[in-house]
Amino acid sequence: MDHKNSQSASYAAAGVDITAGYKAVELMKKHVARTRNEGCLDDVGGFGGCFGLPIAGMEEPVLVSGTDGCGTKVKLAILMDKHDTIGIDAVAMCVNDIICVGAKPLFFLDYIACGKNIPEKIASIVSGVAEGCVQSGAALIGGETAEHPGLMPVEDYDLAGFAVGIVDKKKIINKDRMAAGDVVIALASSGIHSNGFSLCRKVFNIDNNDPMLYENRAELGGKTIAETLLTPTKIYVKSILALLEKVDVKGISHITGGGFYENIPRSIPDGLCAQIRKSAVQVLPIFNLIAKVGNIPERDMYNTYNMGVGMSVVVPADQVDTALEILKTHGETAYVIGSIIESDEKVILE
């Protein structure tokens, strides 16, 4: 599209450079192109993203949507001036939610609000969004970048988005089929993911850019606290889809804000409880460091962070070995952390 006649000196004087927006779109197109799949019907730049629904073979196709952002993890990306992975987090937080229903992600749209539109920076953010889409099999079919002068400092931005997936109604994960004796399997996280960063910011004095953020730490494998915290959220879509093909999955929980105590109960029916063995949880070093530096009680840690478990799935006891083999074949660190018992407590950590 030719934008040479589309410019406004008055709007630019007010703090919004619409030509920067055009340049950002041009720079991000190569990243968006990586995400194209069979459902894409047009290119980025129109008023709406069009997508053809792949419903062949489905009796009752159901669309499943999810929306989220990256929380205050964005603050760390801004401090480190590293913007090419935060988009993975935005996609992950959405697609990891809808896969809990059993839905295959179809497409994703992002929204970036910024103090000043710096095209190269926006394109870097979108490159991460595109990578997240590639990892989940979703197409990036559109988005929006909004310049907010006076509302946000020029260096600041926020990132959010939403995903839409599809599942045959009969294949929606139904927790009501869960029974005592079923087994809870953990899928390891890549780190903090995108939750609990307000507490991280306090513990590590991130808002003041504390020098300890950039010290190499032996307990973190030689990495700094900053780069460890900025590790992108793991996307579980393809491994869970493979699992659903061969195993009778009765419940899936995405362990996000609220940790074990809030998220695991969401996939447990009334009258049953997930009994989790804390000794079985493979806690990542970053969580031990947070607890130590911040003097955070253990219960608060499990009620805020994923503690090394990004997702949990419930399967019949006689299918545990098959489930573990499938998950490990697809690159997951997966292991048993508990079982389902009769109780009204929904989740017990012991």
pLDDT (mean) for 301-315: 98
> What is the predicted pLDDT for the residue at 306?
98
DSSP per-residue letters across 125-181:
HHHHHHHHHHHHT-EEEEEEEEE-BTTB-TT-EEEEEEEEEEEEGGGS--GGG--TT
Mapping DSSP onto H, E and C, the string for 265-327 reads HHHCCCCEEEEECHHHCCCCHHHHHHHHHHCCCHHHHHCCCCCCEEEEEEECHHHHHHHHHHH
Residue 228 has pLDDT above 90, yes or no: yes
> What is the predicted pLDDT for the residue at 3?
53
Q: How confident is the model at residue 125 (pLDDT cuts 50, 70, 90)?
A: very high
> What is the predicted pLDDT for the residue at 84?
98
> What is the predicted pLDDT for the residue at 12?
66
> What is the predicted pLDDT for the residue at 176?
95
Residue 46 has pLDDT above 90, yes or no: no
Residue 17 has pLDDT above 90, yes or no: no
Q: Which two tokens stand for residue 135?
A: 């990892």
